[in-house]
């Protein structure tokens, strides 16, 4: 955690500097890895920000800070110099990098792991209506939600992954009727499936199963039977995609189950809004006064016919989450829910909870390509491309890695042919291949009797070429990537990180032979290779991607 150590120590120096100038306030400065053309390990803008506060020339401030850095951070910093108008470039001691390498090798899968955080976090994702199989949009949400959960767990959070199942309402009635009509058609009735009903072939398959069971139509609950089959398909597809949920929460729990007073959780939420003056009755309907909290218009919670809206159930569901003791809620929604974000946050505030404890991540659409050309809609359903179709074609690993290549708020183009290639053009193959190559070297080294195994007896100072140093630096930024992923609420930081690591490894591999005639050098380089294996294992595990020893 080199960057964290530098940030902490430099922050202390900056605060002391400001106090000496009679400025009693903290300063948020950046510490970044500079562009490739700048010969430095880190760069900070601290002096330039101080200069704005003190009205002192930034280069003069930078020099004063450098003096302090070299005096009080000599255990980390080898050299510090002024760049441009007042940036400070920092060069880290090699001994610090070697120490980080030892940490990777000794801590292995626990490297970067934070213990005893214990903050309860709920990550709710996918939550597709049980009206059909998952499509590729759901797949992207599944990859993001599952990987983000893995990252948060690594950072010590007590994470629960939940799927919210909308099993009540009009959509369920339409689903049931769609299956019943297909059933009757297969039984020979001349009946049409109305427009707007579910057309997919999966509906026909459900009807065929019911017919095969030779049951009387009067004994069939078409809603229950349809949801059962569709939910089984959804669970199977998610399992094949390496996604498991800790909890499946039924909307029925909050919308239909009544307490001793005969009230559902939805009833109680709406009653609470009324008691606080945040809801009112108009035209026999219950309205949420959401304009009081910034919405463009008030919203209906309960229709005049007595049916609750989706918003009413959703509010009760979020209230239920907080009441279960979760201090932080993370929702992954499709981009089409953009207008819903402010509304649900306003409701959270009306219920007396901190709206900032609800993070909503919107993920953009996925466009499928084949050799750069758009792929037409699904050949199987006539409606959409299913997640299963893509996983069956390119494999779970490529599918997950590609879905995570971009931040959630960026549209994603997914070329199926590239995802199937076994070449450096395919990013997941590129990363997995590095692990396979490293594993091969380690296996080969077992034939050598002169290799030193004990890390404490190896001279790591022999790792002194630019390529070796760059590789160690990249390995040491694993922890930075963890914190960045949490800050941005996006696992794409790790696909980028692993691709960069693969780049640096290939450069190292081309310039630095690992198993040489020099046993000391070979032993040191072998430990570097083993460190690459540790970090790739950790990174791929966070992404839910398989680790391959050979390819």
pLDDT for 172 equals 93
Q: What single string gives the DSSP state of each residue in 456-512?
A: GGS-GGG--SHHHHHHHHHHHTHHHHHHHHHHHT-THHHHHHHHHHHHHHHHHHHH-
* Cβ atoms 5, 76 nearer than 8 A: yes
Residue with tokens 């009413």: 312
Q: Domains in the chain, please, with CATH? A: 2-92 (3.30.1360.70), 97-114+423-543 (1.10.730.10), 125-257+364-420 (3.40.50.620)
**Cα 539 to Cα 501: distance, rounded to the nearest angstrom:** 10
Q: Structure pTM?
A: 0.94
Q: Spell out the residues 6+ positions from residue 31 whose beta carbon is closer than 8 angstroms to its own.
A: 3, 6, 7, 10, 42, 43, 44
User: What is the full per-residue pLDDT of the chain (551 aa) written as tens digits?
Assistant: 899 999 999 999 999 989 888 888 888 999 999 998 899 999 999 999 999 989 999 999 999 999 999 999 999 999 999 999 999 999 999 999 999 999 999 999 999 998 877 799 999 999 999 999 999 999 999 999 999 999 999 999 999 999 999 999 889 999 999 999 999 999 999 999 999 899 889 999 999 999 999 988 999 999 999 999 999 999 999 999 999 999 999 999 999 999 999 999 999 999 999 999 999 999 999 999 988 887 888 999 999 999 999 999 999 999 999 999 999 999 999 999 998 998 899 899 999 999 999 999 999 999 999 999 998 754 444 457 899 999 999 999 999 999 999 999 999 999 999 999 999 999 999 999 999 999 999 999 999 999 999 999 999 999 999 999 999 999 999 999 999 999 999 999 999 999 999 999 999 999 999 999 999 999 999 999 999 999 999 999 999 999 998 87
Among residues 123, 139, 144, 364, the alpha carbon closest in space to that of 234 is found at: 139
In this structure, what token pair is assigned to residue 101? 């390498």
Q: Judge residue 146's burial from the number of C-beta atoms within 10 Å of its C-beta, 0-12 exposed, 13-18 middle, 19 or more buried.
A: buried
pLDDT for 37 equals 87
**% helix, strand, coil for the chain, step of 5:** 55, 15, 35
pLDDT for 394 equals 96
**Cα 310 to Cα 296: distance, rounded to the nearest angstrom:** 18
């Amino acid at each position: 955690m080199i960057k964290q150590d530098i940030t902490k120590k430099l922050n202390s120096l900056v605060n002391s500097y400001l106090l000496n100038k009679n400025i009693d306030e903290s300063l948020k400065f950046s510490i970044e890895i500079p562009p490739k053309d700048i010969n430095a390990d880190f760069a900070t803008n601290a002096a330039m920000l101080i200069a704005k506060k003190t009205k002192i020339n930034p280069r003069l401030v930078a020099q004063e800070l450098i003096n302090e850095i070299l005096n009080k951070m000599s255990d980390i910093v080898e050299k510090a110099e002024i760049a441009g108008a007042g940036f400070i470039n920092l060069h880290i001691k090699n001994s610090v990098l070697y120490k980080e390498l030892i940490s990777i090798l000794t801590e292995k899968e626990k490297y970067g792991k934070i213990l005893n955080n214990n903050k309860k976090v709920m990550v709710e994702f996918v939550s597709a209506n049980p009206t059909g199989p998952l499509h590729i949009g759901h797949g992207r949400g599944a990859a993001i939600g599952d990987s983000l959960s893995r990252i948060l767990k690594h950072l010590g959070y007590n994470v629960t992954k939940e799927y919210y199942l909308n099993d009540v309402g009009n959509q369920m009635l339409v689903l049931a009727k769609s299956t019943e009509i297909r059933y009757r058609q297969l039984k020979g009735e001349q009946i049409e499936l109305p427009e707007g009903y579910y057309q997919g072939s999966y509906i026909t398959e459900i009807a065929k199963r019911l017919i095969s069971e030779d049951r009387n139509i009067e004994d069939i609950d078409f809603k229950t039977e349809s949801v059962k089959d569709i939910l089984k398909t959804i669970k199977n597809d998610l399992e094949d995609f390496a996604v498991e949920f800790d909890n499946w929460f039924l909307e029925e729990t909050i919308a239909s189950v009544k307490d001793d007073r005969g009230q559902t959780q939805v009833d109680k939420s709406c009653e609470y809004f009324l008691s606080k003056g945040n809801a009112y009755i108009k035209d026999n309907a219950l309205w949420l006064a959401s304009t009081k909290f910034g919405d463009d218009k008030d919203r209906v919670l309960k229709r005049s016919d007595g049916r609750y809206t989706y918003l009413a159930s959703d509010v009760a569901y979020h209230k239920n989450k907080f009441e279960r003791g979760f201090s932080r809620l993370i929702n992954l929604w499709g981009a089409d829910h953009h207008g819903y974000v402010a509304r649900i946050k306003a409701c959270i505030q009306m219920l007396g909870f901190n709206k900032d404890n609800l993070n909503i991540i919107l993920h953009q659409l996925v466009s499928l390509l084949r050799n750069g050309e758009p792929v037409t809609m699904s050949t199987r359903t006539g409606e959409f491309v299913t997640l299963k179709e893509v996983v069956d074609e390119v494999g779970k690993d490529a599918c997950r890695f590609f879905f995570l290549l971009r931040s959630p708020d960026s549209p994603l183009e997914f070329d199926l042919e590239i995802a199937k290639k076994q070449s450096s053009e395919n990013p997941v193959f590129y990363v997995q291949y590095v692990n396979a190559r490293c594993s091969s070297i380690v296996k080969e080294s077992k034939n050598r009797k002169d290799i030193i195994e004990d890390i404490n007896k190896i001279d790591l100072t022999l790792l002194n070429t630019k390529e070796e140093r760059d590789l160690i630096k990249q390995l040491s930024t694993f922890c930075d990537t963890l914190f960045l992923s949490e800050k941005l609420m996006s696992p794409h930081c790790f696909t980028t990180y692993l691709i960069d690591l693969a780049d640096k490894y290939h450069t190292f591999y081309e310039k630095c032979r690992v198993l040489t005639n020099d046993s000391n050098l070979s032993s040191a380089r072998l430990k570097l290779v083993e460190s690459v294996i540790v970090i790739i294992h950790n990174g791929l595990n966070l992404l839910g991607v398989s680790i391959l020893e050979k390819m």
